[in-house]
């Protein structure tokens, strides 16, 4: 397998994995009332966001962009895929907002927001994979 595509696949496995994990991690950080638990949990959540999810997202998007520029791919499936990826980026940013929110006000619950983001992410990742693997639009 060409190295660039391998890099793309490895990066997006890390990105998608982190994105599916983050909403649960964020929601779990607001349930307990112990102060130490909050501080450490908020720190862990921020580390997963800044050290795993964000670099993996940049690598997945960068390698994907390099792939389509190198192979001059401008097919319809790619346009639809980029639209789905834009939705994933939006969910990524919303996770960042929730990470900040649980750091500032840990007593506030964000369970409903996390469920919505989690469900949207599962749908967007499934659509993205279907678009790129089945290439239903030529």
Q: Contact residues for ligand HEM (CB under 6 A)?
A: 5, 8, 12, 16, 60-61, 64-65, 67-68, 71, 73, 82, 85, 88, 125, 128-129, 132-133
Cα distance between residue 48 and residue 6, in whole Å: 23
Q: 61 vs 94, which CB is nearer to ligand HEM?
A: 61
**Contact partners, residue 57, CB within 8 Å, separation at least 6:** 15, 89, 92
We find the least distance from the C-beta atom of residue 22 to ligand HEM, in angstroms, to be 15
CB-nearest residue to ligand HEM: 64
Q: 40 vs 71, which CB is nearer to ligand HEM?
A: 71
Pick from 98, 127, 126, 124: nearest CA to 112:
98
Cα distance between residue 29 and residue 96, in whole Å: 14
We find the least distance from the C-beta atom of residue 120 to ligand HEM, in angstroms, to be 13
């Amino acid at each position: 397998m060409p190295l660039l595509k391998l890099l793309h696949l490895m990066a997006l496995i890390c990105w998608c994995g982190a994105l599916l994990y983050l909403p649960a991690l964020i929601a779990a950080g607001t349930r307990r009332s112990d102060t130490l638990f909050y501080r450490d949990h908020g720190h862990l959540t921020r580390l997963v966001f800044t050290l795993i999810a964000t670099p993996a997202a940049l690598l997945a998007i960068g390698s994907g962009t390099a792939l389509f520029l190198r192979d001059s791919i401008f097919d319809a499936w790619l346009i639809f895929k980029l639209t789905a990826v834009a939705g994933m980026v939006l969910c990524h940013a919303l996770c960042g907002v929730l990470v900040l929110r649980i750091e500032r006000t840990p007593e506030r619950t964000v369970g409903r927001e996390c469920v919505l983001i989690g469900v949207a992410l599962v749908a967007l990742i499934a659509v993205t994979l279907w678009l790129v693997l089945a290439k239903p639009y030529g």
